[in-house]
Every structure is written in structure tokens, then in C-alpha cells.
């Protein structure tokens, strides 16, 4: 891992005195970095002039990527690798006997993971399976909330019946993501085999309606003082503090996200899906990509490319306009591959993934619960990948987070950022515009589509 302090102090004074020009260079597109690199660095340039002295600005730039031993952003926990659906694009089914089906033992969660949850901002209780199949999911949610940690998960939605929907609100889940693959029964059910589209949409609508009714009930002047006090205290405990603030926040929870997996066979329904999401009460639509392809057939489903199909881009544009008209948040992952991404959006330098075997990995793609190397296709070529294991959460989760394996893995990303930031500062000093070749990401990431921003 690079020594950021040494790199910072090694800059020539003339270069340091020129760093302030970076703000203007980025905003005008003078430096030839990708848009995402510019946006990331622009975040640091966009501060008040009093804080934008050359040395302090550059110091902020480097300090952001120094590892912390105190707290991390996200811990994603695969509570189960089992699922009742047979989705055509999921490795759960396509990897066959290589796949290890199972649940994270409650003892591993309660004894080895829960004691450390206070070090994470968000615990996301989902991997490659359906979380609602785990018999102790609600106990896991309660333990996570008791640790003062936000909690969320992604579900196929089949088990979101009236009882589970009410319990989600009772437990003050922060994020509920529900997976779709179409805006009509025929398209959705052909891709998410075993899913009932109409039942799924009805489940979402019921939860949204119940969430809204609780907001109304909370503001009802006829509600007894005792009822209000009991409810407020329960919410406050689940949120760990200020009763009024906790209650106000809980009234808006969970955030209901509908995820639409963009593929060649369904992207034409994306604008209509935005209309559907709005009509059934969702808060947000997220259009995602097929980032991992264990077979050639699955890779052929993807819509992203080095030069995306203009028709696909137009459909995303139409979906964005529809979302704006209807007042619903819409986010679509890029369709254009970008080789200059400093770190993928999984942000493995700030997060970690624990699969149901208890193995600590950088992300869900490198923590597959498999018996041997996983097949992976990238740009038509087979690029198999072995799982990355930083250590066992059963032994010591924090030791795995702070160990040499993760430090080396994260160091490759920090080297990319240091190279980009350094080149940007040098460009500001010299006035020259040059394309920088970034150091390679960790070897398991080199043939992952997430490293291309999709």
C-alpha cells in the first residue's frame, strides 16, 4: 500500500502552489480524465475558497483514502444463498453443483458479527439468496438496529405478505429493495422464473399503502397520548436515541426501491416500469446491469457496451423524463463502459462482504459461495475467477478487515487514486493536458464489468 503522507510531502512546492487551478481545469474539462474521475475530484475542489489553499486541498485529497480502523461504510452479509426462484441470469442456478446452498448460522451472526456492527454505518443483509428464507432474519434485523446500524436488504418479493410487510415497518427497516425484470407479467416471469408478477406488484403496493397509513395515523389528533408515547418510545429505541427525530424518520421508512435489471429482452419496458413503480407507491427506481456473466448466454443479455446502442440510451432518457413527471427518484447505471474508473461502486476499500460460509470478501462477486473457481465471461472471453477470502468472520471479523490481505487488495485501488490525483496536480502546474495510464486494479477485478463503471 502506498504511503500517502510520503507522496504528499514529496511534491515540488511549485506544483503544490498550482493545485488551486484544478477546480477550473476540471470544470472546463481541460484535463483528460473520465467523467467519473472528474466528478470524484470535483467533490474536493468544490469547497469554500478559505479552505482551498493548495497544500490543505491536496492533503484533503489524499487523506480521504487513508484507511480507518474505527468505522466502515457498509457490511454486506449473505444470510442465505438459497432462493425459491429460478432466474435465468442468476449464478445461483447456472453454476449448478459448484454452488453451495446454505444459511449463515445464527451463532456466527450473533457471536462473531453482531458485536462489531457498531463499526459499520449500514448492514445489508443480502447476498445471492432470498433473505426472507432465513428463519432468524428478524432476530438479525433487531440485533443490527440495537447496534445503532442502519439495515436493509434486497428481496424477490414473493414472501412480502401482509404479516412480513407489517413487520418490516415495525422493525424500522431503512432500505427495502425489491427485484423486478419487467413491467408486464409475460416479460418479468420469463426472466424471473417462478415469480408471480401481479402478486409481487400487489405486495409492494400493500407495503407502500401501510407505510402511508402509519404516517397518517401518527398525525391523527384523536390518537391517544398513551398510544403515541408507546409507539414513539419503541421507535426511539430501534433508532438508538432522540425520540422525536427517530419517530419522524421512522415515518418515512423503509425507503422502497424497485430494482429493474436491464437486459436486451426487457429494456423496452423500462419507461413503463417507472410508471408502474409510481402507481404502486415506490420511492425510487434503480435500473441495474448484468454485471456478472457465468455463461456466454448470460453475457449475451447485457445492454452495456463500449459503444451502447442509441435505442437503449433513448429508453433510459425516456424513463428519466417519466420519473421527473411523476416525481419519483430514478437512477440508471451507465451503459457506456469506462476504463478509467478509479474504484468500482462496490467500494471495497470502504466496505466488506461476508458470505453465508462466514468468509470475508471484497464484494458479492468475489465472495461467491462456490466449491471451485467460478466461470466468468468478459467481452466474449472466458476469464474464470477464484473467490477472494480475507479471513473468517467466525475467527475475527475485524482482524480480517484490518489484515494484510485486505490491505494489499485495497492498496491497488489507492495506487490508482494517487496516480490520478498526482497527474491532475501536475497537469495544473504545467498547463499540459495528458491522458494518464492508471495502475492496474487488483488482479481478480481486471475482468470484472464493475471496474468499467456499469
Domain regions of the chain by residue span: 72-400
Q: Is the pLDDT of residue 381 over 80?
A: yes
Q: Is the pLDDT of residue 377 over 70?
A: yes
What's the pLDDT score for residue 437? Answer: 81
Q: Using one digit for the tens of pLDDT, what is the confidence trace for 9-41?
A: 333 334 334 444 444 444 334 333 444 444 444
Under the banding of pLDDT at 50, 70 and 90, the label for residue 420 is confident
SS3 of 400, please? Answer: helix
8 A C-beta contact, residue 165 and residue 207? yes
Q: Is the pLDDT of residue 383 over 90?
A: yes
> What pTM did the predictor assign?
0.80
For residues 226-247, give the mean pLDDT: 48
What's the pLDDT score for residue 430? Answer: 67
Q: Using one digit for the tens of pLDDT, what is the confidence trace for 107-116?
A: 999 999 999 9
Q: Is the pLDDT of residue 305 over 50?
A: yes
Helix axes of 54-63 and 35-45: crossing angle, nearest 10 degrees: 120
Q: Is the pLDDT of residue 271 over 90?
A: yes
Distance CA 69, CA 103 (A): 29
- How many Cβ atoms from other residues are within 10 Å of residue 23's Cβ? 19
Domain 72-400 carries which CATH code? 3.20.20.70
Q: What phi-psi label fits residue 413: left (phi over 0), alpha (psi between -120 and 50 degrees) or beta? A: alpha
Closest CA to 168 of 181, 184, 157: 157
Cis ω for the linkage preceding 254 (within 30 of 0): yes
- Residue of higher predicted confidence among 229 and 356: 356
Q: Using one digit for the tens of pLDDT, what is the confidence trace for 434-447?
A: 667 889 999 999 99
For every residue of 261-328, DSSP letters joined together read: E--TTTGGGHHHHHHHHHHTT-SEEEEE-----SSHHHHTT---BSS--HHHHHHHHHHHHHHHHHT-
**In three state form, how does the secondary structure of 29-76 look?**
CCCCCCHHHHHHHHHHHCCCHHHCCHHHHHHHHHHCCCCCCCCEEEEE
Under the banding of pLDDT at 50, 70 and 90, the label for residue 214 is confident
What's the pLDDT score for residue 245? Answer: 44
Q: Hey, what's the cell of 373?
A: 473457481
What's the pLDDT score for residue 426? Answer: 74
Of 75-84, 174-183, 413-422, 437-446, which range is least confident?
A: 413-422
Over the range 163-200, which residues count as b (16 or more CB within 10 Å of their CB) and which as e? eebeebbebbbbbbbbbbbbbeeebbbebbeebebeeb
- How many Cβ atoms from other residues are within 10 Å of residue 348's Cβ? 23
8 A C-beta contact, residue 250 and residue 238? yes
Degrees to nearest 5, angle at CA 44 with 348 and 398: 30
Closest CA to 160 of 178, 172, 148, 175: 178
Under the banding of pLDDT at 50, 70 and 90, the label for residue 47 is very low
Under the banding of pLDDT at 50, 70 and 90, the label for residue 429 is low
Of 224-233, 275-284, 323-332, which range is least confident?
A: 224-233
What lies within 8 Å, CB to CB, of 135 at 6+ separation is: 103
Closest CA to 180 of 165, 201, 203: 201
Residue 314 backbone dihedrals phi, psi, to 5 degrees? -65, -35
Q: Hey, what's the cell of 85?
A: 426462484
Mean pLDDT of the chain: 83
For residues 80-102, give the mean pLDDT: 95
Distance CA 333, CA 34 (A): 16
Q: Is the pLDDT of residue 419 over 60?
A: yes
Distance CA 243, CA 64 (A): 33
- Residue of higher predicted confidence among 8 and 311: 311
The maximal CA–CA distance of the chain, rounded, in angstroms, is: 70
- Residue of higher predicted confidence among 235 and 305: 305
For residues 39-64, give the mean pLDDT: 47
Amino acid at each position: 500500500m502506498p504511503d500517502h503522507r510520503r507522496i504528499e510531502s514529496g511534491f515540488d512546492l511549485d506544483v503544490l502552489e498550482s493545485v488551486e487551478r484544478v477546480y477550473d481545469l476540471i470544470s472546463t474539462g481541460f484535463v483528460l480524465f473520465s467523467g467519473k474521475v472528474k466528478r470524484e475530484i470535483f467533490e474536493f475542489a468544490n469547497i469554500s475558497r478559505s479552505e482551498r489553499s493548495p497544500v490543505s486541498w491536496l492533503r484533503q485529497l489524499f487523506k480521504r483514502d487513508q484507511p480507518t480502523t474505527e468505522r466502515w461504510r457498509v457490511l454486506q452479509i449473505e444470510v442465505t444463498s438459497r432462493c425459491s426462484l429460478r432466474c435465468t441470469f442468476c449464478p445461483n442456478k447456472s453454476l449448478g453443483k459448484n454452488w453451495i446452498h446454505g444459511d449463515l448460522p445464527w451463532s456466527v451472526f450473533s457471536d462473531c458479527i453482531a458485536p462489531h456492527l457498531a463499526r459499520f454505518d449500514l448492514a445489508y443483509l443480502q447476498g445471492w439468496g432470498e433473505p426472507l428464507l432465513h428463519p432468524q432474519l428478524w432476530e438479525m434485523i433487531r440485533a443490527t438496529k440495537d447496534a445503532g446500524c442502519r439495515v436493509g436488504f434486497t428481496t424477490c418479493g414473493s414472501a412480502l405478505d401482509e404479516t412480513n410487510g407489517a413487520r418490516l415497518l415495525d422493525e424500522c427497516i431503512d432500505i427495502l429493495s425489491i427485484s423486478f425484470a419487467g413491467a408486464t407479467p409475460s416479460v418479468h416471469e420469463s426472466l424471473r422464473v417462478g415469480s408471480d408478477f401481479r402478486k409481487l406488484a400487489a405486495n409492494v403496493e400493500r407495503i407502500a399503502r401501510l407505510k402511508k397509513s402509519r404516517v397518517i395515523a401518527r398525525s391523527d389528533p384523536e390518537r391517544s397520548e398513551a398510544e403515541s408515547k408507546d409507539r414513539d418510545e419503541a421507535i426511539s429505541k430501534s433508532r438508538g436515541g432522540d425520540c422525536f427525530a427517530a419517530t419522524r424518520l421512522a415515518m418515512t421508512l423503509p425507503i422502497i426501491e424497485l430494482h429493474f435489471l436491464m437486459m436486451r429482452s426487457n429494456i423496452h419496458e423500462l419507461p413503463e416500469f417507472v410508471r408502474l413503480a409510481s402507481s404502486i407507491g415506490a420511492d425510487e427506481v434503480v435500473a441495474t446491469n448484468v454485471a456478472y456473466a457465468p455463461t456466454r448466454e448470460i453475457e449475451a443479455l447485457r445492454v452495456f457496451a463500449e459503444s451502447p446502442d442509441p435505442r437503449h440510451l433513448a429508453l433510459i432518457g425516456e424513463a428519466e423524463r417519466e420519473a421527473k413527471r411523476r416525481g419519483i427518484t430514478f437512477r440508471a447505471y451507465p451503459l457506456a463502459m469506462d476504463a478509467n474508473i478509479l474504484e468500482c461502486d462496490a467500494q471495497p476499500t470502504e466496505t466488506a462482504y461476508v458470505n453465508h460460509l462466514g468468509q470475508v470478501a471484497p464484494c458479492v462477486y468475489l465472495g461467491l459461495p462456490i466449491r471451485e473457481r467460478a466461470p466468468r465471461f468478459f467481452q466474449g472471453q472466458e476469464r474464470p475467477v477464484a473467490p477472494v477470502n480475507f479471513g473468517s468472520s467466525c475467527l475475527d471479523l475485524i482482524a480480517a478487515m484490518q489484515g494484510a490481505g485486505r490491505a494489499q487488495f485495497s492498496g491497488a485501488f489507492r495506487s490508482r487514486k494517487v496516480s490520478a490525483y498526482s497527474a491532475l496536480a501536475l497537469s495544473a502546474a504545467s498547463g499540459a493536458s495528458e491522458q494518464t495510464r492508471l495502475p492496474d486494479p487488483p488482479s481478480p477485478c481486471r475482468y470484472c464489468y464493475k471496474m468499467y463503471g456499469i
